[in-house]
Structure 1
Amino acid sequence: MTSPEQDRKELVEWQRNPPAGFKHKVTDNLQRWIIEAIGAPGTLYANDTYQLQVDFPEHYPMESPQASVIFLPPAPLHPHIYSNGHICLDILYDSWSPAMTVSSICISILSMLSSSTEKQRPIDNDRYVKNCKNGRSPKETRWWFHDDKV
């Protein structure tokens, strides 16, 4: 079960050694982090700024924070990021490990953005977003990880 001490420990580590291109926006809620992400230099997203929301589940880190690692509007245009902010990234779901941290998630997301060759929505964006009405979590989606190029 996640505890305030564990959340604080991860936050202290983040403040001591934040991943390049990310900044934690301080709030009173240790269970929900808002993180500013800045696109890496030399990529399609260079200097673009986005906000990630990370909600920690009750059993974090044994359970991934995938229920809510989402981009707040406006989400970046990317083949693996839906317009509602949901992210199709295997480490948030099938490949989660309790050894991962918010920092490692952020680095993976930045890598995914940096490797993209075009700014576009996933081809099934409209259908997916329509099916996510009424607050459906990305955790309820059966993801199909078929494209490791972006």
Structure 2
Amino acid sequence: MNMGGPSSHRRKELTRVAQRRLTRELAEWSVKTPPVPGMSVSETDRVDEWLVTVTGAAGSVYENEQYILRFVFPADYPMEAPEVVFLQPTPRHPHVYSNGHICLNVLYDGWSPALTVTSVCLSIVSMLSSATKKGVPPDNDTYIRNCQGRSPKQTRWMFHDDHV
């Protein structure tokens, strides 16, 4: 499925820094015990695009449900945040739009080169685990209509909800 954004057009080659950093991060996920419980990286032949399987945490409204995140890394990662979206079917969550875009500060304005795939995944697991009920964002239909084919990184996000 084409979600728009970096994976829908020709990508620039990763810088050496990005290549080294992603190779090191991928190695962390290749051990028997992944750095984030309930998550695993699928075999990938590309260091600049990862698929991460997410299993809902025990006791959460997503318990044992599985979802897939797609990470697409820009040429100058970690200076620029990766594009991270849920592939279909997406979790019904107040911060996850039905097209897979995620309203989460660390993916946009809150990004820092000190963050890693692991820290992003921990933030996503925390976001999912803190939800008390399932449902789409209140502006889901309008957002989907207005962002057809665009990367979530082209959205001007308003972060106003610290509670999920």
Q: TM-score range by the shorter chain?
A: over 0.9
Contact residue 41 and residue 53 of structure 2 kept, 8 A: yes
The match for 1:12 is 27
Report the equivalent of 2:10.
Answer: none
Instruction: Provide TM-score, normalisation by structure 1.
Output: 0.94
- The equivalent residue for 1:149 is 163
Whole-Å separation in 2 of the counterparts to 1:42 and 1:27? 31
Per-residue CA deviations over 1:77-126 (Å, capped at 9, x if unaligned) read 00000000000000111111111110110010010000011100000000
CA offset at residue 6 of structure 1?
A: 2.4
Q: In structure 1, how many angstroms separate the alpha carbons of the residues matched to 2:35 and 2:41?
A: 8
Instruction: Check conservation: 2:29, 2:40, Cα contact below 8 A.
Output: no
Q: Where do residues 115-134 of structure 1 align in structure 2 (5 Å cutoff)?
A: 115-133=130-148
> RMSD value over aligned CA atoms?
1.1
Where does structure 1 lack aligned partners over 5 or more consecutive residues?
none
CA shift, 1:18, in A, is: 2.5
1:1-150 aligned at under 5 Å gives the runs: 1=15, 2-16=17-31, 17-65=34-82, 68-133=83-148, 135-150=149-164
Deviations, residues 50-69 of structure 1 (Å, cap 9, x unaligned) = 0000000111101111xx20
The SS at the match of 1:37 is strand
Instruction: Name the CA distance, whole Å, in 1 between partners of 2:29 and 2:115.
Output: 13
2-side partners of 1:75 and 1:100: how far apart?
A: 24
The count of corresponding residues between Structure 1 and Structure 2 is: 147
Identity among equivalent positions (%) equals: 54
Give 4+ residue runs of structure 1 displaced > 4 Å after superposition.
none
Q: Aligned partners of 1:14 and 1:34: how far apart in 2? A: 12
SS at match of 1:147: coil
Gaps of at least 5 residues in structure 2 are: 1-14
TM-score by length of 2: 0.86
- TM-superposed deviation, 1:47: 0.3
Deviates more, 1:49-58 or 1:8-17: 8-17
